[in-house]
A and B are shown apart, each in its own frame.
Chain A
Amino acid sequence: MRRLIVNGLAAGIVALSASGAFAAVAGQPGSDGPNWAAIAMFVGFVLVTLGITYWASQRTKSRAQFYTAGGDITGLQNGLAIAGDFMSAASFLGIAAMVYSSGYDGLIYSIGFLVGWPIIMFLMAERLRNLGRYNFADVVSYRLARGPTRAMSAAGTLVVVALYLIAQMVGAGQLIKLLFGLDYAYAVIIVGILMILYVTFGGMLATTWVQIIKATLLLLGASYIALMVLIHFGFNTEALFAKAVEVSPKHLAVMRPGPLVADPISAISLGMALMFGTAGLPHILMRFFTVADAKEARKSVIYATSFIGYFYLLTFIIGFGAIVLVSTDPQYLDAKGALRGGGNMAAVLLAHAVGGNIAMGFISAVAFATILAVVSGLTLSGATAVSHDLYANVFRHGRVDEKQEVLVSRVATIALGILAIVLGIAFEKENVAYMVGLAFAVAASANFPPLFLSMYWKGLTARGAVAGGVLGLVTAVVLTVLSPGIWVTIIGNKTAIFPYSSPAIFSMPLAFLVTWLVSITDKSAEGKAAAAAFDAQLIRSETGIGASKATAH
């Protein structure tokens, strides 16, 4: 039955591409036909990953297997998968586009995305692994009243997942429309269906392997483009930058921090959101439970940090390469001198400039694969919040049959997949640029404070955690709505009520403050019990004694 579905879908995609559903390709220079190289490579990727999903489905029976691949993922594999989760289409195409249009500012974003990793390593990774089993809510609710803290963590998870999913789905639809000439709605539906198949049948094992394959392809593709740019300039970066300064309309301004971080408060706030948001992203945190022990968790982080750091250096070179090789070539520009297909196409068009149709096809296919892999990881963590937190722990108070819970998780995956398709289509014409930033701000303000304090502060009570987490979430969302990105750009008001581009500098300290205040004034018996259970939790988090081995049994 599973094989039937898998084969059927694969055949459907092949038929769809053959029947000309992939019409003229807008983004492809010099020709009006579809980019067959891109389509062939993408179909190849889909077939391989569906094969892996079939293989994974044979090994995904228990709850631990579904949520965390039975803890059998190695440090290197998990490091690649984490890097894959992080190197989303938004960060690859988006940061290359940012460098293309603003020069140096793109690097500031890259750095912000990266520096959260050492902090996660030093303060959180091994404690998370030693305390949790399936998701970060396990850790928050380890000694706190289960119902309220699980419900709060699930809310934080689902809001972050929804925001991130919408941004990815809209990006996917627009990108695929450009690259393959496929109708927007079809593109979103294909992404949604493939993601549902991967996650529902293959669980974390398939999701991880899809992510590993895509991360490897993306690193290879980006390395190739950056290498070709460097070869073009004889490995002399001064020559590359000099040419960029010469041809860019901004000239020397591309070499220094510019308008994207114009005011200091926004710059610091954005820095906080990126750094601590990473430590509160549910689909990233979940990856710490797919490895056997703290040692492998640490290895995951050093591999992930190295791959991500390397990747951002490549993206910087790619952005500057695009300024020099794409912005000066009329075949890549429209009548007004802007990039054909929009700013996000900088990296894809550069691939064409340095490697022709095959390279462009490869990068296009990898960009599609990237979105597919990232939405799968997001959906799995969202489904886990529904089945493991809300269903098993809040509604059934932990008295639940394992089979039942996995079933609920699979149903939740399908529901989230359909929701993602619907939202993706609903938001087609909307500006979703703020959504990833908001997802990071919510993660930093709603998920990170309770998670961090639950591991480090004896005095934390369930009331404090819930009050702080909920307030952090609400503040981050409200301030973002009142900020220039939505209040002026989208709603159309003249001036923003909240003048800064990121809310984290206010919402995150507020969440910590309220959590602390409510906790110290909480004199309930429950609060005392939570404090009494802290010593045992601390020792387990530090030594791993008594920790779940995350085996498949």
Chain B
Amino acid sequence: MDDAMIARIRANPSYIELKRKRGAFSWILTVIMLVIYYTYIYFVAFEPGVLAEPIASGDVTSIAIPIGIFVILSAIVLTGIYVWRANGEFDRLTRRIAEEVQ
């Protein structure tokens, strides 16, 4: 890739749009995942008693179980959301960039 091509791509509106949208999207999702996981780890490490509460009085099932399952499902759902948008919107933008700068 020569310097002229680099300059052309960097000035391309579709490229600027892709970079802005995808950059924000992937960092937001990353932060959401890190917050969910490290909040969970925080409670495991510092407040395990909170997680030991039963989900309803008289039950043995602790809230740690649905919370753990929630962390697992959130990882799958967040990944799915990213793939859905990237394989649609972002790939369309990427194709447009390739066509426009050739």
Contacts and interface: CB of A to CB of B under 8 A. Distances in A.
Nearest to B102: A545
B51 A256 contact: yes
Contacts of B10: 535, 539
Interface of A is mostly: helix
Contacts of B6: 535-536, 539
B18 to A, nearest CB: 7
Which of A268, A275, A309 has the most B CB atoms < 10 Å from its CB?
Answer: A309
Which of A110, A111, A126, A242 has the most B CB atoms < 10 Å from its CB?
Answer: A111
B87 A257 contact: no
A241 B79 contact: no
Nearest to A298: B83
Interface string B55-97: 0000111101100110111011011101100110001001001
A104 B61 CA distance: 11
Contacts of B98: 543-545
Contact of B79 (A256, A305, A535, A543): A305
Which of A104, A301, A313 has the most B CB atoms < 10 Å from its CB?
Answer: A104
Contacts of A241: 60-61, 65
A43 interface: no
B54 to A, nearest CB: 8
A543 B1 contact: no
Contact of A110 (B15, B43, B72): B72
A264 B59 contact: no
Interface residues of B, number: 51
B41 to A, nearest CB: 5
A543 B75 contact: no
Contact of B72 (A104, A261, A295, A309): A309
Say which size band chain A's interface belongs to: 35 or more
Interface stretch (A25-33, A112-120, A195-203, A333-341): A112-120
Given A108-B44, A543-B97, A545-B9, A119 B72 contact: no
Contacts of B72: 110-111, 114, 309, 312-313
B83 A255 contact: no
A107 B60 contact: no
Interface in B1-22: 1, 6, 9-10, 15, 18-19, 22
A32 B91 CA distance: 60
Contacts of A237: 61, 65
A298 B48 contact: no
Contact of B75 (A263, A295, A305, A535): A305
A114 B51 CA distance: 20
Given A313-B69, A543-B15, A255 B64 contact: yes
Interface string A510-522: 0000000000000
A121 interface: yes
Contacts of A540: 1
Which of A126, A245, A546 has the most B CB atoms < 10 Å from its CB?
Answer: A126
Given A110-B72, A119-B30, A301-B79, A257 B64 contact: yes
B65 A257 contact: no
B87 to A, nearest CB: 5
Contact of A115 (B1, B29, B75): B75
B18 A309 contact: no
A151 to B, nearest CB: 27
B61 A238 contact: yes
A123 interface: yes
Nearest to A299: B83
B76 A305 contact: yes
B15 A118 contact: no
Contacts of B45: 261, 263-264, 267-268
Contacts of B37: 111, 115, 271, 275
13 contacts: A104-B68, A107-B64, A111-B71, A118-B75, A122-B33, A252-B52, A256-B49, A298-B82, A305-B75, A306-B76, A306-B80, A312-B72, A545-B1
Given A122-B27, A252-B52, 9 more contacts: A115-B33, A115-B75, A117-B79, A118-B79, A263-B45, A268-B38, A271-B41, A299-B87, A544-B94
Interface of B: 1, 6, 9-10, 15, 18-19, 22, 26-27, 29-30, 33-34, 37-38, 40-41, 43-46, 48-49, 51-52, 59-62, 64-65, 68-69, 71-73, 75-76, 78-80, 82-83, 86-87, 91, 94, 97-98, 101
Closest 5 CB pairs of A and B: A256-B52, A264-B45, A267-B45, A255-B62, A122-B26
